Amino acid sequence: MYTIKSYVFPESLEEADELLQRDCRNNAILGGCCWLKLGRRRIRSAIDLSKLGLDQIEVRDGFLELGACVTLRQLETNPHVTARFDGILGRSVSHIVGVQFRNCATVGGSVFSRFGFSDLTCALLALDTTVVLQRGGELPLAEFLASPIAFNDILLKVRIRDDGRHAAYESVRRSTTDFPTLAVAVSCLEGRWKVSVGARPARAVLSDDAARCLESGEGPAAAGAAAANELVYGSDLRAGGDYRKKLAAVLVRRAAQTCMERENKG
Ligand SMILES: Cc1cc2nc3c(=O)[nH]c(=O)nc-3n(C[C@H](O)[C@H](O)[C@H](O)COP(=O)(O)OP(=O)(O)OC[C@H]3O[C@@H](n4cnc5c(N)ncnc54)[C@H](O)[C@@H]3O)c2cc1C
């Protein structure tokens, strides 16, 4: 549980930024508060972004843009999102806890936190995705995920190139709503592939070797074996590293096969 001394609704991004900079160790940007509730933080100023119009999903200038306050449930129900990338964004979050939870948890809180287990991050990484930060500007998601968390910044939105690529998502969970034991997303655009593997249990990363296998026509099984061999798989209470490695081979193969079939159908 957390405690909050003062709860603030900034009227502009500049005001939100200024409030955060006053004491970024003790002040906090609020997403849906689902994760914050699990901690024991004493928040001096809780900065609620809900008056800043960041709950919008827009298709603009060739990009699908997801504001930081967009909820996970919106990814499952918004027609702009479900109609693109074979609906993998909505599908990737559909096993997270339950609908009421997904009506609260946000894109901003999920991406900014860089959770290793994040289904959404894994799916976004297989697309052409950038994040837009108040201070850090716009940078590719892969670069953002590889950098340490800057607690003095605010994630404003996620931008995905609306390039019509096909995609597929697969995860394995010990029970339906558990955290993923392993997650995989694959996409293909004009013969160029991206293969993302998350919940290793470390953060999602791309497997370049798996992508190369698919680009050179070696097929889904070879891509699965390549992702299993290239990436590092660790152990935690959900699974051992060896098991995750075996899962990676299977899930990458399945996702690549599905993506290929979608690509062939057009
Ligand atoms: C019980 C439980 C089960 C879960 N299971 C899964 C699962 O299976 N798969 C999965 O992918 N995820 C899972 N999650 C994570 C969940 O999907 C969200 O990613 C998580 O709750 C964070 O989103 P939030 O909006 O609640 O963020 P919050 O809890 O509000 O914030 C989390 C952190 O991010 C910061 N923050 C929030 N928004 C911003 C912003 N715009 N800019 C900068 N900093 C920001 C906050 O200050 C805080 O430090 C689970 C979470 C819980 C609590």
Burial class from Cβ neighbours inside 10 Å (0-12, 13-18, 19+) for residue 11 reads exposed
If you measure from the C-alpha of residue 64 to the centroid of ligand 1, how many angstroms do you get, rounded to a whole number? 21
DSSP, collapsed to helix, strand or coil, labels residue 130 as strand
* Omega before residue 140 within 30° of 0, cis: no
109 lines ligand 1 (CB under 6 A): yes
Domain match, 139 and 218 both: no
Residue 66 belongs to a domain with what CATH number? 3.30.465.10
Domain match, 143 and 187 both: no
Q: Each residue of 196-211: pLDDT tens digit?
A: 999 999 999 999 999 9
**Domain termination site, one of 161, 195, 210:** 161
Domain match, 176 and 149 both: no
Domain match, 175 and 260 both: yes
Domain match, 68 and 150 both: yes
Strands 42-48 and 3-8: parallel
Residue 209 belongs to a domain with what CATH number? 3.30.390.50
Mutate which of 25, 34, 66, 172 for ligand 1? The one with the most ligand atoms within 8 Å of its CB, which is 34
Model pTM score: 0.98
User: What is the span of the domain harbouring residue 74?
Assistant: 57-161
H/E segment holding residue 133: strand 129-133
What's the total number of domains in the chain?
Answer: 3
Q: Each residue of 210-243: pLDDT tens digit?
A: 999 999 999 999 999 999 999 999 999 999 999 9
